Amino acid sequence: MSKMRSVLPEPDIKCDTCDKTFRTLRNLHSHSRTHTGVRKYQCRTCGKSFAYLNVLKTHELIHSGTHLQTHNKEKNYNCAQCGKKFAQAGNLKTHLIRHTGIKSQACTLCDMRFYIKRPYACDVCPKRFMAHKDMRNHRMIHTGEKPHKCRLCSQAFIQKCALNRHMKSHKNDDPPVVTQPAVTAIGVAYADWNA
């Protein structure tokens, strides 16, 4: 399959100051701000000015605290093999795959190989998982297996946490009537244990 390339016109609009060329007048005007020193976008927090709006927006992240949070996280998850520290357990798990030395994902167009972040694949659909147990639980969607059954009603669930959540719906229900067989002169009858 061949790639189609769109043919763009050669740059023909030249900057008078530095001889750089542009395809559109708009791009030339934007570029000219680098020579004029005009900085019409000002930070409302610190007053610093910028020639371009996108640069101002990137700068404002410094003041928002969003960016700072990435630096302030405690890194409590340590790699036992190389000592690298991580703020989240999932990031450590992903990192540990690198120590296996196995690059199991191959590019179909060249010889490059890559680490797979989610090594466990479902054999029915394209979903992949970090942990084998997660893949096993997911597979039950395809098989219809629901091993966690409610003891109060007929509902069943794939995951125990779903059963626990369901059990809260029975919180105000009366306990079920449990019967036991009782032998009578006529045969087996059921007596109410709760009576």
Mean pLDDT by 10 residues, the chain (195 residues): 47 80 82 82 84 81 61 77 81 75 69 71 82 85 89 88 88 60 49 46
Which H or E run includes 58? helix 53-64
Q: Which residues contact 37 (CB under 8 A, 6 or more apart)?
A: none
Alpha carbon distance 98, 129 (integer Å): 16
Q: Domain for residue 192, yes or no?
A: no
How do 105-106 and 128-129 pair as beta strands? unpaired
Alpha carbon distance 57, 140 (integer Å): 46
Q: Domain for residue 154, yes or no?
A: yes
Looking at the structure, tell me whether residues 130 and 151 fall in a common domain.
yes
Q: What three-state secondary structure class fits 179?
A: strand
Looking at the structure, tell me whether residues 65 and 18 fall in a common domain.
yes
Supply the pLDDT for residue 149: 92
Looking at the structure, tell me whether residues 17 and 65 fall in a common domain.
yes
Q: Which of 69, 65, 89 is nearest to 77 (CA)?
A: 89
Single pTM value for the model: 0.33
Looking at the structure, tell me whether residues 84 and 60 fall in a common domain.
no
Q: Which of 61, 41, 43 is nearest to 51 (CA)?
A: 41
Q: Domain for residue 49, yes or no?
A: yes
Supply the pLDDT for residue 11: 57
Q: Domain for residue 195, yes or no?
A: no
Residue type, 132: H
Q: Domain for residue 94, yes or no?
A: yes
- Judge whether 103 and 114 are in contact, CB under 8 Å: yes
Supply the pLDDT for residue 72: 63
Which H or E run includes 168? none
Which H or E run includes 41? strand 41-42
Supply the pLDDT for residue 173: 67
- Judge whether 41 and 51 are in contact, CB under 8 Å: yes
The CA distances from residue 36 to 12, 54, 112, 156, in Å, are 21, 18, 46, 70
Q: Domain for residue 146, yes or no?
A: yes
Supply the pLDDT for residue 107: 74
If one counts the domains in the chain, the total is 3
Q: What three-state secondary structure class fits 92?
A: helix
Q: Domain for residue 98, yes or no?
A: yes
- Which residue range forms the structural domain that includes residue 95? 74-113
Looking at the structure, tell me whether residues 22 and 64 fall in a common domain.
yes
CATH of the domain at 43: 3.30.160.60
Q: Domain for residue 88, yes or no?
A: yes
**What is Dmax (Cα atoms) for the chain?**
114
